[in-house]
Structure 1
Amino acid sequence: MRRRSRVLRLALAACLLALAALTGGCAGGDAHRTVVVLGPWTGPEGAAFEDALARLSHHSGHHYVYKGTRSLRETLVAQLEAGAPPDVAILNSIGELTEYAADGKLEPLSPQAAERGYPPWSPTLTLDGRHRTYWVPLRVNLKSVVWSKRATGTKAPDWCVGMAAQATSGWPGTDWIEDILLHQAGPDTYTRWATGRLDWKHDPAVRRAFTTWSEILGPRSPKSVERSLTMSFEGTPDPEHPNAPKRGLLGGSLPGCTHEHQGSFIRSLYPGAMADNTLRVEPAARFLHGRAAYKDTYEVSGDMAAVLTDNPAAQDLVTLLTSEDGRKTWSRSTDAHLRPFFPDATDPRPDDPTGRAVASYLTHDADTLCFDASDVMPPVLRDAFYRAVLTYFQDPRTGTLDTLLGQLETVRSQIAGTPSGRSGRVHAPDDICASPGG
């Protein structure tokens, strides 16, 4: 693997992060003992993670510098092009991680760091004839759930939909379609689709997932559609307190809506509801009206740590963060509604009823967990999927769907025939579905 001056790398990384409008200054300190971490958490989540790193640094003797950004992919690509990557990057895309590994940008994890590489979050890759682990989950989330206000009782859902998410607008819709396909077609078909071995245009499972989503949402006025396309999945701030954090779609951003299909991380927007237990969380399969042949399968996502330099302290940090002490330290550093979920039943568990329910599905109540399909796909196909979902949400006619599925199949076919990486085409790993519990 490549060798580089750690002092130069730290200086370049700090300057590049400053240019990318990230917080903080130069890392400083002994380059052999300093670890630069790039991750997706900002605001209170980022502050909690920084606090956990500060606590862990007292035990390890290393200095940890965390830089959080909402433009994670763009920032990391810029750093890699400048030859100044962070020591550790925290990403949620297996597709991106696979490409980085194939291009020689990732270091294989040490046996100690790889020990808690639980499937389906941490599949092994075969590169240069060797099977190795290149990332492990730090935090995981459950995607196959629906949130609702307890006061609505058994009222028919009025769906809250916010599709905007900066450069990744559309993913709340792809989550829906992935979840539906998993429940209807099962883990085997889902895996072949996510890993690029299923024809988008001609396989009935893909078309059925799109049309089922449209049927569940029901008729929507042009005004409602436009509002959902421009509304952030996080909602809007309270107009009486514009500088306050966003309040979520169920928190008043979309008045009148009662149900939200969203991952377990969304509870961070509802601290009051988590405290007084006024939100209900249910498996999404219950809302498919008897069309879920695989109701005990669940889609999951994760924030995975990968090492990008030869700094041995980076491997040590990944080992520490995934240890029992590391996870307890992180849990103690954050408020209840921000507390992370972990993939093992022996790890710290949230102490609120809703959090415990989510943790149970992640660790033992589900039959099978499958990793987020769009996050398994190569980035170019994932981004095309996002755009297609936005178009279909706006115009769900059969002709529109025919065109979109044809375009997506063209992208998939082109990727399948294009070599990439130092060792030729490296496909996403097949083991993206597994039993829960580590």
Structure 2
Amino acid sequence: RIFSVAVLISMLAACGPGTGSSSSKTLHVIGTWGGSEQASFMAMIKPWTDRTGNKVSYEGTRDINALQTTRVKAGNPPDLAGLPGPGQMAQFAKAGSLVSLDSAVDMNAMNSQYGANWVKLGTSNGHLVGIFIKAAIKGLIYYDPKTVSAAGVDFTTPPKTWDDMVTAFTTIRSKTGKTPWCIGVASGAASGWPGTDWVKDFFLRQAGPTKYEAWGASQEPWNAPEMKAAWQSFGSVVNNTNLTYGGKNYVLSTNFATAFDPMFASPPGCYLHHQASFITDFFVHDFPNLKPGTDFTFFGFPDINPAYTGPQVVAGDLFGMFKDSAEARDLIKYLTTADAQKIWVKRGGAISPNKLVTVDNYPDDQVKKAAQLLLAANPPEFDAGDLQTAALQQAFFDGIVAYIQNPGQLDTILNGLEQKRASGQ
């Protein structure tokens, strides 16, 4: 699922005459997706290749920032590429590597069909340079209703506060003698990112949206007391061998895409899993017989500080154009449409940022619930890690790994992150 080397795929246009040019063009596209996510992206663009007669060569890598930076520096960028986040997007735009999309897409349609924040996050120096083709809601807590009930916990009414959550998972521990949580932070060069999502959830709900937004804008010190408290809250779970399956060895060595597997074992090895809405695609890949709602469901991360109720971390997959051509413009315009995004939505594992993709397009009630939670977020806060520079985001990932390895070095980790922020890295 996760690539240590790039995987190259070609998808040919359907046989027979197309409506596009008689001389087809192959577009090179780089993205982060593998496995079922890659298959969904290829399904998403198939109507476009069928219609135009063009081809798409897709290359998948989890270390997309390094690959993309190398290609750009070598003068060999792809036509289109997924962007690691708005922070890195802004860096590419500032360097002149990205093509403005102002005339490539219908801006009137963009502004009416997308929320203002989605357009703003894809804008740099007054020009649209990135478009979101799918979104996810983060900070969801997944569980199997049957095993959790057998462990003495009733989530019919989800925990309203983190204290309620602590009561629930300590009950699971005391009733079963097993670890409540399954966590895995391995992800190749991006190892550590699942742990950053825990820190974001704690920081947003403890310190509030204003400080969270300042953090995303690199205006909040990494060694501030509020930041340290968020890391320590994460540590109270991940560094407690009574709470986390397999201890730190499992957490550090297990890929995020399979970290939940013990939750669906018989008997279960854990009962709870914290992840974004896209993870259900991985659930059914590993366990094809799972039934959404019956075998897994979720609730949103509970509130912590009563002064800040209802915020939610959201994220999305950005695409940008590195080589200007009529074919690349046509493909990126297609990717913004509801017709294109419905394809991935109907296959599962994605939420569309396009307002014209209504909830009836989602394949089951669980994904509909996630989409509705995203729409109801008050406020929706974009993933602060994805707003950072590439160097700072990577240091955040690495810091999570170092913290799990040795919680006693937290001050050193945070001071190092603050030095990077203060120096503009």
TM over 0.5: yes
State the partner residue of 1:228. 251
- Gap change, CA 1:125 and 1:226, over 3 Å in 2: closer
TM-score by length of 1: 0.77
Distance in 1 between the 2:416 and 2:235 partners?
A: 19
State the partner residue of 1:371. 382
Alignment deviations for residues 289-319 of structure 1 (CA, whole Å, 9 cap, x no partner): x445423111011111111111122122111
- Gap change, CA 1:304 and 1:125, over 3 Å in 2: closer
TM-score by length of 2: 0.79
State the partner residue of 2:44. 52
Q: Residue type of the partner of 2:271?
A: T
Q: Secondary structure at the match of 2:423?
A: helix
Alignment match of 1:346 (pick from 356, 371, 379) = 356
Q: Secondary structure at the match of 2:315?
A: strand
State the partner residue of 1:37. 29
CA contact (8 A) 1:384 1:408 kept: yes
Distance in 1 between the 2:252 and 2:270 partners?
A: 15
- Gap change, CA 1:199 and 1:89, over 3 Å in 2: same
Distance in 2 between the 1:20 and 1:211 partners?
A: 35
Aligned residues: 375
CA contact (8 A) 2:31 2:82 kept: yes
Distance in 2 between the 1:285 and 1:317 partners?
A: 40
Q: Secondary structure at the match of 1:314?
A: helix
Alignment match of 2:235 (pick from 214, 222, 228) = 214
CA contact (8 A) 1:137 1:303 kept: yes
Q: Residue type of the partner of 2:219?
A: R
Distance in 1 between the 2:28 and 2:257 partners?
A: 28
Alignment deviations for residues 378-430 of structure 1 (CA, whole Å, 9 cap, x no partner): 11111111122222223334xx22222211111111116xxxxxxxxxxxxxx
- Gap change, CA 1:170 and 1:329, over 3 Å in 2: closer
State the partner residue of 1:9. none
Deviation at 1:182, TM superposition (A): 0.8
State the partner residue of 1:172. 194
Q: Residue type of the partner of 2:294?
A: N
**After the TM superposition, which residues 2-151 of structure 1 pair with which residues of structure 2 at under 5 Å, given as runs?**
21-24=6-9, 33-111=25-103, 112=105, 114=107, 115=110, 118-123=115-120, 130-151=125-146
Deviation at 1:268, TM superposition (A): 0.9
CA contact (8 A) 1:277 1:353 kept: no
CA contact (8 A) 1:297 1:369 kept: yes
Q: Residue type of the partner of 2:315?
A: S
Q: Residue type of the partner of 1:231?
A: T
Q: Secondary structure at the match of 1:415?
A: coil
Deviation at 1:98, TM superposition (A): 1.2
Distance in 2 between the 1:26 and 1:351 partners?
A: 25
Corresponding position: 1:282 with 2:299: yes
CA contact (8 A) 1:138 1:322 kept: yes
Q: Residue type of the partner of 1:137?
A: F
CA contact (8 A) 2:8 2:58 kept: no
Distance in 2 between the 1:317 and 1:253 partners?
A: 45
- Gap change, CA 1:360 and 1:106, over 3 Å in 2: same
Q: Secondary structure at the match of 2:92?
A: helix
Instruction: Provide runs of 4+ in structure 1 moved above 4 Å.
Output: 25-33, 124-127
- Gap change, CA 1:159 and 1:124, over 3 Å in 2: closer
Deviation at 1:80, TM superposition (A): 1.6
Q: Secondary structure at the match of 1:35?
A: strand
Alignment match of 1:404 (pick from 413, 422, 425) = 413
Alignment match of 1:251 (pick from 241, 252, 264) = 264
CA contact (8 A) 1:113 1:318 kept: no
Corresponding position: 1:195 with 2:209: no
Alignment deviations for residues 326-354 of structure 1 (CA, whole Å, 9 cap, x no partner): 2234445x3xxx34211244315313111
State the partner residue of 1:434. none
CA contact (8 A) 1:92 1:302 kept: no
State the partner residue of 1:425. none
Q: After alignment, is 180-189 or 114-123 more displaced?
A: 114-123
Alignment deviations for residues 64-122 of structure 1 (CA, whole Å, 9 cap, x no partner): 33333333223322322332211111124222111111110001113425525645444
Alignment match of 1:265 (pick from 271, 278, 281) = 278
- Gap change, CA 1:126 and 1:367, over 3 Å in 2: closer
Distance in 2 between the 1:50 and 1:254 partners?
A: 37
Distance in 1 between the 2:274 and 2:131 partners?
A: 26
CA RMSD of the aligned region, Å? Answer: 2.9
CA contact (8 A) 2:207 2:226 kept: yes
Distance in 2 between the 1:344 and 1:159 partners?
A: 34
Q: Residue type of the partner of 1:170?
A: G
Distance in 1 between the 2:250 and 2:38 partners?
A: 29
- Gap change, CA 1:21 and 1:30, over 3 Å in 2: farther
Q: Which runs of 5+ in 2 are unaligned?
A: 14-20, 154-167, 170-179
Q: Secondary structure at the match of 2:136?
A: strand
Deviation at 1:20, TM superposition (A): 5.7
- Gap change, CA 1:97 and 1:159, over 3 Å in 2: same
Identity %: 27
Q: Secondary structure at the match of 2:132?
A: strand
